[in-house]
Structure 1
Amino acid sequence: MTGWLPLMLELAMIPAIIGAINLLLLRAPRGYAPPGTLVSILIPARDEAANIATCLAAALASRGTAIEVLVMDDGSTDATAAIVAAIAATDPRVRLLAAPPLPPGWTGKVHACARLARAARGTHLLFIDADVRLAPDAAAAMAGHAVRRGLAMVTGVPRQEIRSLGEALTVPLISFLLVGYLPGGGRAFTRHPALAAACGQLVLVDRTAYVAAGGHTAVRGVLHDGLALARLMRTEGQWTEVVRGASLATCRMYPGFREAWLGFLKNAREGMATPIGLPIWTTVLAGAHLWPWFLLPAPQAMAALALGFALRAAVTLWAREPWWTVPLHPLTVAVALAIQWTALVRGALGLSAGWKGRAYPADRTA
């Protein structure tokens, strides 16, 4: 095993270098949108009674640009629609829409987003999840950044609220992978689709560019809609960019481990969990963050672990996530790989991916 030590150190050094560069360059957008900008804040909602009122309150507190807020009730069985209707009755900026039955070949959120975009009036469309809380300046700053930089899409990872061990073992890897393992971190230094990135919780698009690329209709069968939309736009020759999202919004994705496991499992097959990609990702991640533990106290193993923890600590600070999650980093990597391998095996067995009462076949097309 000692012959692996140089490789382990290299596997830890590469993301540390990529991460250091990305942490310096990934900044939050600042400033306001130009006159005449209207940002349509678009919220697909399915059984979101626990979240929707707070989400709307934050969206309606937006400043620096004109806004409208559209909520698509996507077949909710709880009080989601009633809550939105009550708020809409007191604020003309809010509109409640009802999603028609899901057509064949579509996933639920993507269909709701496509319908929302069709009904929106804005120059820019800001898609958020119902568990996202926008900062007051977020809509204006993202739209202004898009206009100043000539971007078709601006996206970022909101500050993730993590309150349980189950969340700590899953959620932090979102920002860690973005910063440490994507050269450029999704910035608009290239339009190559392979280097695109996006977080579906917080995506702003220029309406004209979005329509020209085909919008959500062109990615109707995917579950990881933000990433698919970013790749689509880059394929169409448009610029997309990831910005630091911690100051733009907050989000608590899941209340615990079970929900987090199922949530990440449904998206895995559109990420790492492919027959070719996952063995490579397993080598890269386990080689840097797990295998060195078995070769302690070799100096190279200690150096590899130190680099991994240093990067995780820096990303945690950048993402404004809880410090107590940092010591859990090796377990977070192990859980992430377990989720990906579970998704790959389930896909090979033809088992469907499900979310909020809907099941999507393993062989669906993107």
Structure 2
Amino acid sequence: MADPLLLVLAILALAAALLPAVLAAMNLTLLRTPEPEAGEAGLVSILIPARNEAGHIAETVRAALASVGVAIEVLVGDDHSTDATAAIVSGLALAEPRLRLVPVPPLPEGWTGKNHACAHLAGEARGAHLLFVDADVRLKPIAAAGLVAHARRSGSGLVSAVPRQVMGTLGEKLTVPMINFLLVGYLPVAMMRASMRPALGAACGQMLLIGRDAYAAVGGHGAIRRFLHDGVKLPRLLRAAGHRTDLVAGHALADCRMYTGFSQCWAGFSKNAHEGMATPVALPVWTALLGLGHVMPALLVLAGLLVGLSGATWFLALAALAVSLATRAAITLVTDEPAATIPLHPAAVVVALAIQWNVLLRRKRAGAAVWKGRSYPTGGA
């Protein structure tokens, strides 16, 4: 490859690496852990949809019940589990009046499973605020009170946060850190807070607080019944109806181990990709941004080590790689993720793009996303 072309690639790589570096520097100062505040916040309903979660539902429920600073009820929706999920929750409820097991009715035509379970739980809840958490999320005692306090201070109908992501295997470390990297590195948080544009709405479906009135006004999960990615669809739905939404730092509010190996990670991140990046318009743009900014620098540096590069190209390549890894390191350390994932960053970007392209091509082949024993068309609508 001619050196002038390598020089151009190095310039583009540095420019693409600088974009998330600048945004991350700004966002890490804006995304703060919300502090609880004194005053009557009303009842908070912690709603946990659960389908075959016997391995960790007890720990999740106990963590939710340990909430302080606000009155709570905890509702677990048993979505036709075939394991001991319902029995475990029923046993815990015998000694805890704030806990209820809510059987979820059969899944109607045109609904995805989680949305149906969440909608049913919301109908059973009594709280002024609805805190939806996944069954693998362990809330910290201040989480509910902190989220409600931020909603009140900011006037937000929806407040969400990414829990601290727990990772045990190499497959998890190659995939899960991209959640925080993409949110912190590419979402203009200041613009999101200043604007009501639906396209700027973002949330994490693992932990999502919605005011009951705002939820009812937009139709709740019923309004997105056919979709899989509530973290994208709900905030955009609320913003379109005139309700403010916001993100806060979540690493001190909850822990979550999403998956337990590469195959689960691949399937989990694939199931709703077509509602995020994996569209014919968005994915080429994301591929250029991520590929140039975070994969190309590593390839250029490797080429320099193997065959040598001219002085300017070598300097720019090293600078691009340093900026890319520094951005990832800052996000990783602030969000309390494993430092060992930082050098894996270029490979993690490659894996993320591979998942997205696989989903986009599979969608064209009329494939389906399969999750927890259910199959959903990848068209999303």
TM-score (norm 1): 0.98
Could you say what secondary structure the match of 2:127 adopts? Answer: coil
Q: Which residue of 1 aligns with 2:255?
A: 250
Gaps of 5+ in 1: none
| Deviation of 1:183 (Å) | 1.1
Q: 1:315 aligns with which of 331, 338, 342?
A: 331
- Cα distance between partner residues in 2 of 1:53 and 1:258: 25
Contact 2:298 2:346 in 1 (8 A): no
Contact 2:14 2:317 in 1 (8 A): yes
| Deviation of 1:51 (Å) | 1.1
| Deviation of 1:355 (Å) | 0.0
- Cα distance between partner residues in 2 of 1:308 and 1:294: 13
Contact 2:41 2:148 in 1 (8 A): no
Contact 1:187 1:243 in 2 (8 A): no
Q: Which residue of 1 aligns with 2:309?
A: none
Q: Which residue of 2 aligns with 1:354?
A: 370
Could you say what secondary structure the match of 1:269 adopts? Answer: helix
Q: Which deviates further from its counterpart, 293-302 or 189-198?
A: 293-302
- Cα distance between partner residues in 2 of 1:186 and 1:203: 20
Could you say what secondary structure the match of 1:290 adopts? Answer: helix
The structure with the larger Rg is 2
Contact 1:33 1:143 in 2 (8 A): no
Contact 2:274 2:379 in 1 (8 A): no
Contact 1:33 1:65 in 2 (8 A): no
Q: Which residue of 1 aligns with 2:343?
A: 327
Could you say what secondary structure the match of 2:107 adopts? Answer: coil
Is 1:101 equivalent to 2:106 in the alignment? Answer: yes
Q: 2:166 aligns with which of 161, 171, 177?
A: 161
- Cα distance between partner residues in 2 of 1:228 and 1:185: 20
- Cα distance between partner residues in 1 of 2:240 and 2:50: 29
Q: Which amino acid aligns with 2:356?
A: Q
Is 1:56 equivalent to 2:61 in the alignment? Answer: yes
Q: Which amino acid aligns with 1:240?
A: T
- Cα distance between partner residues in 2 of 1:328 and 1:294: 13
Identity %: 56
Contact 1:33 1:140 in 2 (8 A): no
Q: Which residue of 2 aligns with 1:223?
A: 228
Contact 1:186 1:242 in 2 (8 A): no
- Cα distance between partner residues in 2 of 1:53 and 1:248: 18
1:269-288 pair list within 5 angstroms: 269-288=274-293
| Deviation of 1:55 (Å) | 0.2
Cα distance 1:185–1:225, how it changes in 2: closer, same or farther (>3 A)? Answer: farther
- Cα distance between partner residues in 1 of 2:330 and 2:353: 22
- Cα distance between partner residues in 2 of 1:302 and 1:328: 17
Could you say what secondary structure the match of 2:276 adopts? Answer: coil
- Cα distance between partner residues in 2 of 1:187 and 1:336: 24
Q: Which residue of 1 aligns with 2:188?
A: 183
- Aligned-pair RMSD on alpha carbons? 1.2
Could you say what secondary structure the match of 1:188 adopts? Answer: helix
Q: Which amino acid aligns with 2:332?
A: T
Cα distance 1:257–1:37, how it changes in 2: closer, same or farther (>3 A)? Answer: same
- Cα distance between partner residues in 2 of 1:63 and 1:21: 31
| Deviation of 1:33 (Å) | 6.0
TM-score (norm 2): 0.94
| Deviation of 1:36 (Å) | 4.8
Could you say what secondary structure the match of 2:73 adopts? Answer: strand
| Deviation of 1:318 (Å) | 1.4
- Cα distance between partner residues in 1 of 2:236 and 2:91: 38
| Deviation of 1:124 (Å) | 0.3
| Deviation of 1:188 (Å) | 2.5
Q: Which deviates further from its counterpart, 51-60 or 189-198?
A: 189-198
Q: Which residue of 2 aligns with 1:115?
A: 120
Runs of 4+ in structure 1 displaced over 3 angstroms? Answer: none
- Cα distance between partner residues in 1 of 2:38 and 2:281: 43
Contact 1:160 1:171 in 2 (8 A): yes
Contact 1:33 1:141 in 2 (8 A): no
- Cα distance between partner residues in 2 of 1:145 and 1:187: 16
Gaps of 5+ in 2: 305-313
Is 1:302 equivalent to 2:318 in the alignment? Answer: yes
Is 1:85 equivalent to 2:80 in the alignment? Answer: no
Q: Which residue of 2 aligns with 1:152?
A: 157
Summarize deviations over 1:305-324 as a string: whole Å, max 9, x none. Answer: 10000000000011100111
